Structure 1
């Protein structure tokens, strides 16, 4: 008689705060934690190396700023109805959504550092590309009737 029934795992639970380890497959944290020893987006990355963890934080920051830029950037002329303008707009949207999903997955690592860096990156992107702090030249163009903006 086979006693290894599916769903009947008899191994003891992992220590509090530590990821569970079933054989060679490490499970991710299910609560927020602070530390550089983590896996974010890829198996074994950044691992336990401090430099790689810092690189992850820098990349998450850049991707969140880039997602904000793509959210607020018009790469085609306002009112343009050409097929090429629609394709550029669609590609820009697809890239933005893909970056947003990658950010969501990175934050789902439950690493507090990644969460903070993602929020700060979105905030900096909003400040630079959306807020009125850097909008003087665009607002004067809008008042004068010019509605073309190729760069953000």
Structure 2
């Protein structure tokens, strides 16, 4: 037997040593530790035992904890939708410069039409833009948290994300006016 075979990596990334003890460490629940990583579900499931939520110390183990997590995730998804709508509203209120640019374009039968474009902007170094930037960072972090919660594949938590997002949209975006610019060619 070739002596190099004793130290060749196997599929788990450890070296194969025929003289090594082949017992695996177990967790308190009797399952395999797998190097400190818990097994991740790859399909949707309904359960409330041993569900890790975003952080290793935040583990759901009872129905009451799952109910609390459901409410918290629901509110987090609602907050995300409210933040999106609030940022849009704040942006509309804080726009400081509006510029109209008109240019002639050929029309039908040799006529000339005027096409007008509206440009709205604000200064980069301004309180409104700094606030928008800060709120954008919060919105991005919340969106990734919600994505990671959904990726637990826990059906209760996935329902909480979807229901919270739907409720938030229903509550916050009903006043959102959709303005259609008739001069706009691309939507």
Match for residue 7 of structure 1? 11
Q: Is the 8 Å Cα contact of residues 44 and 155 (structure 2) preserved in structure 1?
A: yes
Q: Aligned pair 1:112/2:155, yes or no?
A: yes
Q: TM-score of the superposition, structure 1-length normalised?
A: 0.71
Match for residue 126 of structure 1? 169
Task: Report the Cα distance in structure 2 between the residues aligned to 1:35 and 1:54, rounded to whole angstroms.
Answer: 11
Match for residue 108 of structure 2? none
Q: Which runs of 5+ in 1 are unaligned?
A: 12-18, 143-152
The offset of 1:50, in angstroms, is: 2.2
Match for residue 75 of structure 1? 90
The offset of 1:49, in angstroms, is: 2.3
Over aligned residues, Cα RMSD in angstroms?
Answer: 2.7
Match for residue 22 of structure 1? 34
Task: Report the Cα distance in structure 2 between the residues aligned to 1:24 and 1:123, rounded to whole angstroms.
Answer: 37
- SS of 1:52's partner is helix
Structure 1 20/47 Cα, relative in aligned 2: closer, same or farther at 3 Å? farther
Task: Report the Cα distance in structure 2 between the residues aligned to 1:8 and 1:123, rounded to whole angstroms.
Answer: 42
Match for residue 145 of structure 1? none
Match for residue 148 of structure 1? none
**Count of residues paired in the alignment:** 128
**Which structure carries more strand by proportion?**
2
Task: Report the Cα distance in structure 2 between the residues aligned to 1:27 and 1:4, rounded to whole angstroms.
Answer: 26
For residues 18-73 of structure 1, give each alpha carbon's deviation from its aligned partner in whole angstroms, at most 9, with x where no partner exists.
x9742543121111110111112122533312222222111111110010011111
The offset of 1:91, in angstroms, is: 0.8
Larger Rg computed on CA atoms: 2
**Which structure carries more helix by proportion?**
1
Structure 1 8/89 Cα, relative in aligned 2: closer, same or farther at 3 Å? closer
Structure 1 20/101 Cα, relative in aligned 2: closer, same or farther at 3 Å? farther
30-39 or 104-113: bigger deviation: 30-39
Q: Superposed, which structure 2 residues align to 1:54-73 within 5 Å?
A: 54-73=67-86
Q: TM-score of the superposition, structure 2-length normalised?
A: 0.59
Runs of 4+ in 1 over 3 A off after TM superposition: 8-11
Q: Is the 8 Å Cα contact of residues 33 and 111 (structure 1) preserved in structure 2?
A: yes
